[in-house]
Structure 1
């Protein structure tokens, strides 16, 4: 069985490396109608993390340089947004940076739920993690500084969540990603060197403010919540424990337990209880996040169970989907999405990246940290 798991890791890296564009971008899915031709900072950062842990230094570095180039080309836009914010102007969502870009780094014409902040924080975190493993990536300083200016100005603003929903809320998983990225920018020498003292100070202040805000408004019954002022949970909160470290100790344990209790069925993890996207199935990448947290907490056998569940969702050719329909929360809603966009995205490169991360965390391949 271990040989099969290792073979899927090899296949996962092959899927990621094969579909990485010459620009360095990782397409979310090379075949799915709504994702084809686009790269998300969030998805790509986690894809890069999996490939980096597997032992690939060059592919993730190319992705990180692509991200930095995307941001440098928009540094004037960011500076203008910051200036408008400083004078108290109400800035429309449409003026903010998008969450996804075309493979060549442009802004697509397709309408999307585009204002999401978490990807920029996740990228900074992943860049630092890759530098720890394989050495600093050259040519990214301008992008780092631009991302930090953007996040320190707008971190408290409501935006869409991981799932392109609820733009009017401040999502705890978004805050956790921003915090992790800004903390990395302050503390990691390869990133901190790109910042001015004022930028480092603003980033440190934002980290402290996020910590205080989440503790005051994003915790119910001892666990993190889906957004500030809510009571329920979302599987994206798992990232706030491992790897982002927003929650530690009892808060971390309670958050993972709350997600497991509410959203894990027969080993597979749902996004949230009211999910209707493709019927509200279970997501391999979220099950890998659960396994990552289980491994980090010393629950090694549980983590292996999660890895095996993810592996069992692969197609015979070794491709992992976005979600599976074994246990649908809203089966009556599945067909409308098939009619709209086709069958579930397969392969989803983020699923493959998360499989590699969990496999590495368990010592099956590459590097655990």
Structure 2
């Protein structure tokens, strides 16, 4: 393996961490939303539940308690404003009436909490599980009471329990005809977290336990091939997002044969010199390597005790920062489909830089490794 851990000095790592938390907190909107990227044309004006939840988790871990709280408050407001729609979806599902995808809740919202007016690949379930997981992580990390969130948590739980078996778009807004293992991991992690935290009543807790067990049984039957997790049920391919199922979500035990085999296949199929591709066949901006996926894979390695490889992945991610210490969504150095890159540049402009999700995962892995100093010292939390 190429050792990239020494290419950035300790001072550079500290500066990148400072830049990361500054971007996250300074770009947070008055409503509490985190923009995915402040300048990328297709993302401007929107906040995703998935991206935002991982961003808020990093802010919380960095001690920015108020910033994280404001995002979770924003999530709760977004959910509660759609209570009637959720009740209708749940009722139709209970009665066996198919709910069209266009009636399902969107993956991203305007900063004011509205549905977007732009056409998008919107029906994704992973973000709803991720916000539950991240909220409970935040509450536990800082010893906070979550009573204020019970209504939103209950609504989200009902929505997921009624919908988790449905095909939907994956993390990348693709392949809507499949049930994705990473999506199931997000849902199971979120539902299990709120049940453990007792943020839902006893009846819902019992249903969660039953349905999470069903999710794990389904993954064991149809979400594993050759001893590793796969991209979607019945597939043989892998996806970089699967590392998150191991850490930080904990859907799979990091020390299990399943986790180790999954990590090994991700390394063999998708990783080059510390940079992780989304999946083989990716053509988005040429199919580059994503710093945030390197950080997820680093967290999975670290959870199983492989600090050296986690350090290498962290070092690679840090190396992708610009001279202004902005982290991109993906890099252009090792493309799967180089002929497709210009098509996307012509359509949407240069690769999203900075991407707040990249900065968040850099912080989370850096904190886990003890590589990031307390850059929040003296801040108003």
Please report the TM-score for the alignment, with normalisation by the length of structure 1. 0.96
Asked whether the 8 Å contact 2:13–2:372 carries over to 1, the reply is no
- Contiguous gaps of at least 5 residues in structure 2: 1-8, 375-381
What is the Cα deviation at residue 196 of structure 1? 2.4
C-alpha distance in structure 1 between counterparts of 2:66 and 2:136, whole Å:
15
The residue number in structure 1 matching 2:317 is: 310
Which region of structure 1 is more displaced relative to structure 2, 153-162 or 130-139?
130-139
Corresponding residue for 1:216?
A: 221
Residues 55, 366 of structure 1: 8 Å contact kept? no
Deviation at 1:366, TM superposition (A): 6.8
Paired residues of 2:330 and 2:351 also in contact (CA < 8 A): yes
In the alignment, which of 218, 225, 250 is matched to residue 245 of structure 1?
250
Find the partner of 1:88 among 91, 96, 99: 96
Secondary structure of 1:346's aligned partner: coil
Residues 151-187 of structure 1: CA deviation (Å, up to 9, x unaligned): 0111111100000011110000000000000100110
1:33–1:197 distance in 2 versus 1, CA, 3 Å? same
Decide whether the 8 Å contact of 1:68 with 1:141 is kept in 2.
no
For 1:366 and 1:41, the matched residues in 2 are separated by 28
d(CA) in 1 for partners of 2:58 and 2:343?
Answer: 32
Q: Following TM superposition, by how much is the alpha carbon of 1:304 offset from its aligned partner in structure 2, in angstroms?
A: 1.2
Aligned residues: 363
Q: What's the CA shift string for 1:114-137, capped at 9, x where partnerless?
A: 000000101111001111112335
Indicate conservation of the 8 Å contact 1:54/1:365, yes or no: no
Partner of 1:277: 284
Q: CA deviation at 1:365?
A: 3.2
| Kept in 2: contact 1:54–1:366 (CA 8 A) | no
2:185 counterpart residue number: 176
- Say whether the 8 Å CA contact 1:288–1:354 is kept in structure 2: yes
Is 1:15 matched with 2:26? Answer: no
Verify the 8 A CA contact 2:14 2:373 in the aligned structure 1. no
Find out whether 1:32 has 2:37 as its counterpart.
no
Q: Please name the residue that 2:263 is paired with.
A: 256
For 1:253-312, what per-residue CA distance to the aligned partner results, in whole angstroms no more than 9, with x for missing partners? Answer: 111111111000121000000100000000010011111112111111211111111111
Task: Tell me the distance in 2 between the aligned counterparts of 1:313 and 1:282.
Answer: 10
Deviating runs (4+, > 6 A) in structure 1?
none
The answer as to 2:10 corresponding to 1:2 is yes
1:293 equivalenced with 2:300 (yes/no): yes
Partner of 2:368: 361
Matched, 1:153 2:158: no
**1:364 Cα deviation (Å)?**
2.3
Where does residue 82 of structure 2 map in the other structure? 74
Q: Which residue of 2 aligns with 1:329?
A: 336
Structure 1: runs of 5 or more not aligned: none
Q: Secondary structure at the match of 2:47?
A: strand
Asked whether the equivalents of residues 53 and 366 of structure 1 are also in contact (C-alpha less than 8 Å), the reply is: no
What SS does the aligned partner of 2:289 have?
coil
Contact preservation (8 Å) 1:183, 1:203: yes
Compute the displacement of 1:139 (Å). Answer: 2.9
Name the SS for the 1:140 alignment partner: helix
1:196 lines up with 2:219 in the alignment: no
